[in-house]
């Protein structure tokens, strides 16, 4: 609540420098705020009496918006990609899907590897478990197992996450740039 929106009769007032001015009537507090060219903002409405502060409300809203944008900018969104296999997946298909998993993990995403069982394949869960273990071992250098193979109805799933790596991009040296310039000339 700001200025005339405040409904309490008496309030605990904090001035624009952060000093407590005590419990004052709302009208007098509004007069003080307007006299300084600032707003009266209710910061703790549930307190008894409510706590209000004298501040520039527009500037306060702007700073809150900037802080929210800054925190949003620093967030990293991680997606969960899914790769599906069958117990009878051939070697070439396995290698192809392994390359996709590597690409996803290097991109910082998580990968859910699912083995789908159909019909009589349901009696041989060990084949699917071996397939998932093999996949986990193959991509172990770029990923880590976050959830061991687990049966979920007709499927068996494994969750892989990217290993945290502090990769630094190598900057070309001045000598290397000179060589490139000489080659272009």
pLDDT of residue 114: 92
User: What stretches in the chain show pLDDT beneath 70?
Assistant: 165-185
pLDDT of residue 140: 87
Strand order in the sheet with 155-162: 80-85, 110-116, 155-162, 143-152
172 lies in some domain: no
Dist. CA 38–CA 108, nearest whole Å: 47
pLDDT of residue 113: 92
Structure-block tokens of residue 50: 């409510």
Q: Of 153, 139, 123, which is closest to residue 83 (Cα–Cα)?
A: 139
Percent of the chain that is helix, strand, coil (3-state, to 5): 40, 30, 30
Range list of β-strands (E), the chain:
10-14, 20-25, 39-44, 51-55, 80-85, 110-116, 143-152, 155-162
- Looking at the fold, whether 88 and 45 belong to one and the same domain comes out as no
Q: Please, are residues 54 and 40 in contact by the beta-carbon 8 Å criterion?
A: yes
Segment 133-184, tens digit of pLDDT: 998 898 888 888 888 988 888 899 999 988 875 343 333 444 444 444 444 5
- Looking at the fold, whether 40 and 106 belong to one and the same domain comes out as no
69 lies in some domain: no
For tokens 């995403």, name the residue. 109
Dist. CA 113–CA 18, nearest whole Å: 56
- Looking at the fold, whether 105 and 46 belong to one and the same domain comes out as no
- Looking at the fold, whether 158 and 92 belong to one and the same domain comes out as yes
CATH of the domain at 125: 3.30.110.10
CATH of the domain at 41: 3.10.20.80
Q: Please, are residues 52 and 42 in contact by the beta-carbon 8 Å criterion?
A: yes
Residue 12 lies in domain = 3-57
Structure-block tokens of residue 91: 């070697």
Dist. CA 161–CA 110, nearest whole Å: 5
* The model scores a pTM over 0.75: no
> Which residues are CB-contacts of 145 (< 8 A; sequence separation ≥ 6)?
136, 158, 159, 160
């Amino acid at each position: 609540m700001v200025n005339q929106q405040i409904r309490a009769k008496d309030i605990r007032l904090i001035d624009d420098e952060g000093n407590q001015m005590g419990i004052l009537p709302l009208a007098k507090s509004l007069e003080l705020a307007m006299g300084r060219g600032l707003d009266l903002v209710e910061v703790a409405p549930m307190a008894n009496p409510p706590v209000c502060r004298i501040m520039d409300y527009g500037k306060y809203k702007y700073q809150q918006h900037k802080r929210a944008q800054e925190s949003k900018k620093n967030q990293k969104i991680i997606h969960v990609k899914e790769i599906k296999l069958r117990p009878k997946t051939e070697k070439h298909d396995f290698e192809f899907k392994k390359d996709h998993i590597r690409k996803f993990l290097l991109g910082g995403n998580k990968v859910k590897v699912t083995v789908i069982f159909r019909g009589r394949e349901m009696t041989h869960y060990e084949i699917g478990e071996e397939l998932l273990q093999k996949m986990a071992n193959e991509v172990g250098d770029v990923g880590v197992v976050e959830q061991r193979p687990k049966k979920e109805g007709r499927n068996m799933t494994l969750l892989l996450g990217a290993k945290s790596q502090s990769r630094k991009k190598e900057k070309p040296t001045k000598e290397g740039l000179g060589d490139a310039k000489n080659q272009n000339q």
